[in-house]
Amino acid sequence: MARTLNPRNDPNAPWYHLDPLVVIAPFGLAIVGLAAIYSTTRGTDPEAYRTFYLERQLVFVVLGVGVMVAAAVIDYQKLRALAPALYALGILSLVAVLSPLGSNVNGAQAWFNVGPFGLQPSEFMKLAVIVLLASYLSRFEGHLGLGRLVIALIVAAIPMGLIAMQPDVGTLLVFVAIVMGMFLVGGAQFRHIVALTLLGVGLVAFMVNSPVLEEYQRDRLTTFINPDLDAEGAGFNQEQAQIAIGNGGLTGQGYGEGDQTRSGLVPEQETDFIFTVVGEELGFVGSSLVLGLFALLIWRVWRAAQLAKDQFGTLLCVGIATMIVFQMFESIGMTAGIMPVTGIPLPFISYGGSSSLVSFMSVGLVLNVRMRRWQ
Amino acid sequence: MAVQDSQRFRLNLLGIVVLSLFAALFARLYYLQVLTEAEFQEAARTNVERVIPIQAPRGRILDTEGRVLVDNQTTLVVTVDAFVVRDQLTSPELRQDLSLRLARALSESGRLTKAADIRAELEDSKYGPFDKIPVAEGVTQEFKVWLLERQADFTGVEIQPVTVRYYPYGVAAAHVLGYIGPINESELELRASSLKAYQPFDDIGKAGVELAFEDVLRGVPGNQRLVVDARGNIVEYGEVTSPEPGNDIQLTIDIDLQVMAEQELVAGLERARLEIDSNGTGDFFNAPAGVTVILDPDGSAVLAMASYPSYDPRDFVEGISAEQFEVLVDESAGAPLNNRAIQGLYAPGSTFKPFTAYAAMNAGLISDRGALTQFSPLNDPGFFVLPGCDGGKCEFQNANRTPYGPVDLRAAITVSSDVYFYQLAWFFESFAGVRRESLQEGAEAFGFGTRTGVPLAYEADGLIPTPSLKEQRHEDFPEAFPEGRWFAGDTLNTAIGQGDMGVTPLQIANAYAVFANGGSLYSPSIAKASINPGTLQVELDYEPRLLNRLYMPAAVRDPIIDGLKGVPIDDRGTAREAFETFPNAQYPIAGKTGTSEKTGKSDFALFAAFGPADDPDYVIVTVLEEAGFGGEVAAPVVKQLFEAIALDAVPTAVPEDLDYLRQPNVLPVSSDEDPATDQQALAVDQEN
């Protein structure tokens, strides 16, 4: 079976160890995504369905595949040397996006307009931080004292601070998840992890009660705790999202037939709330399929982490796994009412260029680590 | 080895966390989609309660006698139901078809409308799914009937009554009344917590009384609750909360006086434009702009406030275009939107002399132990040479270098001797025991240099130059103000109201009111009451607000008032010619002319006066820009007004709609009448 993938039958060639599931699962998710995006953005006029979003997302997926191949081909060991430069480039772009060069969408100064497309540097920064942290933490073979931990924390805190200034709480939380996952596997002492967690909880409690967050962001966090508080605003969104998902039932309303999806009661339905389309139109069966594809992917990434030949590779895979898991959990969880509402795209499914490129690039790196486990 | 073990353990730990997250999601989705499915399907069918706001009528604006200056009027607006557009007009062709038919019908009814405009509105994303999209305003009743007969061809098209502002007296008092317009984002944010909730398409006061009394005029909007299913069909009509109309505001403005003041102001400017500026440009006077302010000196109620050029508040009723608005704020067109009475800064010229005189007496310069007494004559040869002057400007002259001979304080005011006041200024500079800045402090006690606090937005502070201000300005902007040192010449200019001094016409009027009422500085008021339109009860009485009590015994006040009384009647009085035919015996006037110089422009003419001089009821100030001498062009404007007042011949202002003339809708507020009597009187009025 595996032999067919490698025409030369050379067990030492990297391609021999390519994990097909790491490619298949994202493809499955991307197809579901394209279908859902078309359903929610085609409009209500059967004579003139719009394909604008569909076409653009198709372009993003094709570009994504190219990026995935590129990320898989170049030996990931070379990334060690590149990591500081990538990180510096990311920081520069995060600074630049706060300047008038960047533009503001939905209250976050997070975008560059590049021709007809928007570029979101914080998405790329996630990978840059994963690579640099993996490179740094792997130098100590699991012996992470407080000093090394603090340096690693600073590496993560600089981009997080810049993202907090946009402000983009969703992406900020993704960074928290990445850092915690990598510290855990990278060998941080458990008491440090506990202390960090307590610090994080304290910080969130402080932000909810302080003017750091924009009012609408605080609203979202507090309406999560009490959705009846605000029937027209954030609580309303979450309630409508849940109704959409519940309305799907076991087998769904049928593709293109969702009442909630059609009536525009759920906001941002092609991006952050995309899962409501899957939930309403494809039902529990469709939701389970998406969850299953994610589970398959994460299992294979986790396995790649286990099998990696060095800790650098392991930590790369761990960072990517926590990134994808957290985004999935938050994006689906908020539509299902078990997480607060923040704007995080669902990897491979949500509409968006930066998010799609970064997701495919990540699985490319995982392929890379896995392929080179014997080299 | 331990590291490997540890890492394996930690990876497993991570795997367990991830597994539990998946399990949580899976369980939650199973709960939502399988266990409680029916509940949500029900919710998706009948799930939304919509609250549709109902506008509350805005309060009216009344004049001092209760005559309506701003009313509400119903106009018919053609709307298209946004839900119908979304649900039935699903293709561009269908929308274009409706737009074309509607535009044709509207145009045939006499209201020219473009189909493209209608279509643009229909496709505008700012409207919510339950809004009624307005596509044409001010259509006729006949059109409404015509449309009702063809309702089948025009699904979703409705005619809605909408209230807009109506101005019975047209352009009169435009600057005082102000205007309303759609609320913008920053205003919306500012009033987010207002009790009288605002919606994105609501109107809000933008200027004048409409802005200053927004909270009084605005009503509390009501609402209608609707239950709507996911497809937007109304399933149930819920409870209705009725809107609460806003309160009426009764102004201190007397519309008769206001209209006359505006007419006399224009007449004065037109007269000036027929004269040639022989001292300055050598051409006809431009006289492009002017102001008249009339105050009641007891409490500083504003009775009239005219600013020219003006604008038509009716232009704002159906929305104003950006180009139209540009013209209204264009400086080269005289910025008609500016209320010069509170925003215009002028050098007061000789109208400032009474305040210099007061400062000199108050500082002890003119007293038995001072530099001179009020009766000591000073010789005025027509010019004043600054003692000890070495270089620069040393000689300061009267207008035309006219010599007035020996003048005392009274005569100096009457004939407007600059030399006398130059001499006073020199004493402020040099007299032992007198601080130089007691001159400026005297002016500030009369309210110059600080906003009067009249409840109208955008009022200017003005400026009384002092040595420290001059130095500060030079430090801040050395390019614009190359000189930071204070010279004796600056004090001389200040004493006669020239130089860098800037005051508003309202400040001048308010300061003269202090002389008129014997020493009380009030913050001018423009409204006297807020009236509940339902009960006609006065809910809020706006009392005069005392800012300052000045030390003003008869010994200080009388010589100044005597000097002012001479201005219109004395042989050498500067306004004698203007007041030649005035019945001064019955109605004595105390006034002061002023002519302020502005480099590169013709002189600005000022006249400030109050009457009757012994127990004043009115203070009137007129400023005419680039119009010549105060005595020649500004004094006649004030004289015309006082003449009408003295002879009780102020013409009744005529509203466009004579219904507004017949009966005041609310009786004048007076504190000794109880509201019940007012109501009875009103009932009688309405029977007539």
Range of the domain at B670: 658-688
Q: What is the pLDDT of residues B368-422, one digit of tens each?
A: 888 888 888 899 999 999 888 877 788 899 888 899 999 999 999 999 999 999 9
pLDDT score at B326: 86
pLDDT grade for A230, boundaries at 50, 70 and 90: very low
| pLDDT confidence tier of residue B2, bands split at 50, 70 and 90 | low
In whole angstroms, give the CA distance from residue A308 to residue A135.
14
Question: Do the chains contact at B37 and A185, CB–CB below 8 Å?
Answer: no
Residues of A in contact with B29 (CB under 8 A): 245, 279, 284, 287-288, 291, 332, 336
What is the per-residue pLDDT for B672?
Answer: 39
- Identify whether A17 is part of a domain: no
Q: Find, in chain B, the residue whose alpha carbon is nearest to that of A304.
A: B11
- Compute CA distances B97 → A129, B122, B143, whole Å: 56, 12, 19
Instruction: Give the pLDDT of residue A263.
Output: 64
Rounded average pLDDT over B85-92: 74
Q: What pLDDT shows up at residue A235?
A: 65
Shared domain check, B598 and B554: yes
Q: Is B632 in the same domain as B662?
A: no
B238 and B154 in a single domain? The answer is: yes
The pLDDT, as a whole number, for residue B3 is 55
Of B231, B251, B271, the residue at which a domain comes to its end is B251
Task: State whether B321 and B219 are in the same domain.
Answer: no
pLDDT value of residue B11: 92
The answer to whether residue B22 is domain-embedded is no
The alpha-carbon gap from B30 to the nearest alpha carbon of chain A, in Å, equals 7
The segment with the largest mean pLDDT, out of A178-192, A212-226, B148-162, is: A178-192
Paired tokens of A81: 């040397």
Task: Tell me the C-alpha distance between B660 and A216, whole Å.
Answer: 49
B670 & B634 share domain: no
Rank A172-176, A340-344, B676-680 by mean pLDDT and report only the highest: A172-176
Residue A11 domain-assigned? Answer: no
Q: Is B28 part of any domain? A: no
B632 and B672 housed in the same domain: no
The answer to the question of residue B524 being in a domain is: yes
Q: Per the domain annotation, does B25 fall within a domain?
A: no
**B13 occurs within a structural domain:** no
- Are residue B348 and residue B230 in the same domain, yes or no? no
* pLDDT confidence band for A299 (50 / 70 / 90): very high
Buried b (16+ CB within 10 A) or exposed e, B392-403: eeeebebbeebe
The domain boundary residue, chosen from B211, B231, B251: B251
Number of domains in chain B: 3
The pTM is what?
0.61
* Helices (runs of H) and strands (runs of E) counted in chain B: 24, 23
Is residue B132 included in any domain, yes or no?
Answer: yes
B414 vs A216: which has the higher pLDDT: B414
Based on the domain organization, do B363 and B506 belong to the same domain? Answer: yes
Residue A1 lies in a domain: no
| CB-based contact B33 A322, cutoff 8 Å | no
pLDDT of residue A134: 95
Residues B619-638: what's their mean pLDDT? Answer: 95
Q: How many domains does chain A have?
A: 1
Report which residue type is found at B167.
Y
Question: Which pLDDT value is given to residue B33?
Answer: 87
How many cross-chain Cβ pairs, A to B, lie less than 8 Å apart? Answer: 132
**Band (B258; pLDDT cuts 50, 70, 90):** very high
Report the mean per-residue pLDDT for chain B.
86
Q: What sign does the dihedral B28-B29-B33-B39 (CA atoms) show?
A: positive
Give the lowest-confidence range in A310-324, B174-188, B428-442, B654-668. Answer: B654-668
- Is the CB of A159 inside 8 Å of chain B's CB atoms? no
The residue among B91 and B585 whose pLDDT is bigger is B585
Position A107 scores a pLDDT of 66
How far is Cα of residue B329 from the mean position of the Cα atoms in its chain?
Answer: 14
Band (B677; pLDDT cuts 50, 70, 90): very low
pLDDT confidence of B231, banded at 50, 70, 90?
A: low
Residues B683, B621 share a domain? no
A46/B contact by beta carbon, under 8 A: yes
| Of A259, A264, A287, Cβ closest to residue B44 | A259
Nearest to B21 among A288, A329, A337 (CB): A329
Judge if B214 and B349 occupy the same domain: no
Q: Among A45, A264, A332, select the one facing B91 at the smallest CB separation.
A: A45
Tokens read off for A340 = 């607060």
| Phi/psi of residue A314, nearest 5 degrees | -55, -50
> B279-329: per-residue pLDDT in tens?
777 889 999 999 999 999 999 999 999 999 999 988 888 767 777 888 888
Taking residues B513-526, report their average pLDDT: 95
Closest Cα to residue B589, out of B555, B522, B640? Answer: B640
Q: Residue B675: what pLDDT? A: 39
* HSE-CB of B67 using CA atoms within 13 angstroms: 26
Q: What is the pLDDT of residues A66-79, one digit of tens each?
A: 999 999 999 999 99
Confidence label for B670 from pLDDT (cuts 50, 70 and 90): very low
| Three-class HEC string of chain A | CHHHHCCCCCCCCHHHHCCHHHHHHHHHHHHHHHHHHHHHHCCCCHHHCCCHHHHHHHHHHHHHHHHHHHHHHCCCCHHHHHHHHHHHHHHHHHHHHHCCCCEEECCEEEEEEECCEEECHHHHHHHHHHHHHHHHHHHHCCCECHHHHHHHHHHHHHHHHHHHHCCCHHHHHHHHHHHHHHHHHHCECHHHHHHHHHHHHHHHHHHHCCCCCCHHHHHHHHHHHCHHHCCCCHHHHHHHHHHHHHHHCCCCCCCCCCHHHHHCCCCCCCCCCCHHHHHHHHHHHHHHHHHHHHHHHHHHHHHHHHHCCCHHHHHHHHHHHHHHHHHHHHHHHHHCCCCCCCCCCCCCCCCCHHHHHHHHHHHHHHHHHHHCCCC
A283 Cβ under 8 Å from any chain B Cβ:
yes
Give the count of beta carbons closer than 10 Å to the beta carbon of residue B432: 5
Looking at the structure, do residues B447 and B369 belong to the same domain, yes or no? yes
Stretch B486-513: mean pLDDT, rounded? 94
Residue A221 is predicted with a pLDDT of: 57
Q: What residue type is B7 in one-letter code?
A: Q
- Provide the pairing of β-strand B383-385 with B395-397: antiparallel
Q: Is residue B204 part of a domain?
A: yes
Whether A98 is covered by a domain: the verdict is: yes
Contacts of A329 in chain B (CB under 8 A): 21, 24-25
Range of the domain at A99: 28-40+50-371
Percent of chain A with pLDDT over 70: 85
In a domain, A291, yes or no: yes
Rg (CA), chain A: 21
Domain CATH number, residue B397: 3.40.710.10
Other C-beta atoms within 10 Å of A139: how many? 11
Picking from B29, B30, B48 by the largest number of A CB atoms within 10 A of its own CB, the best residue to mutate is B29
Q: What is the mean pLDDT of chain A?
A: 85
Touching check for A250 and chain B: CB below 8 Å?
yes
Q: Are B411 and B511 in contact (CB under 8 A)?
A: no
Tokens of B127: 């409207």
Do residues B31 and B139 make contact, with C-beta atoms less than 8 angstroms apart? no
pLDDT band at B241 (very low <50, low <70, confident <90, very high): confident
Q: Which helix or strand (DSSP H or E) is residue B325 part of?
A: helix B322-329
pLDDT score of B459 more than 70: yes
What average pLDDT does this structure show over B50-73? 87
Question: Quick check: is A270 in a domain?
Answer: yes
pLDDT in tens, A183-199: 999 988 889 999 988 98
Q: Which of A259, A256, A45, A51 is nearest to B90 (CA)?
A: A45
Residues B297 and B414 grouped into a single domain: yes
Which residue on chain A is closest to B189 by alpha carbon?
A215
Confidence of residue B149 (pLDDT cuts 50, 70, 90): confident
Closest CA to A334 of A315, A350, A318, A352: A350
The answer to the question of residue B143 being in a domain is yes
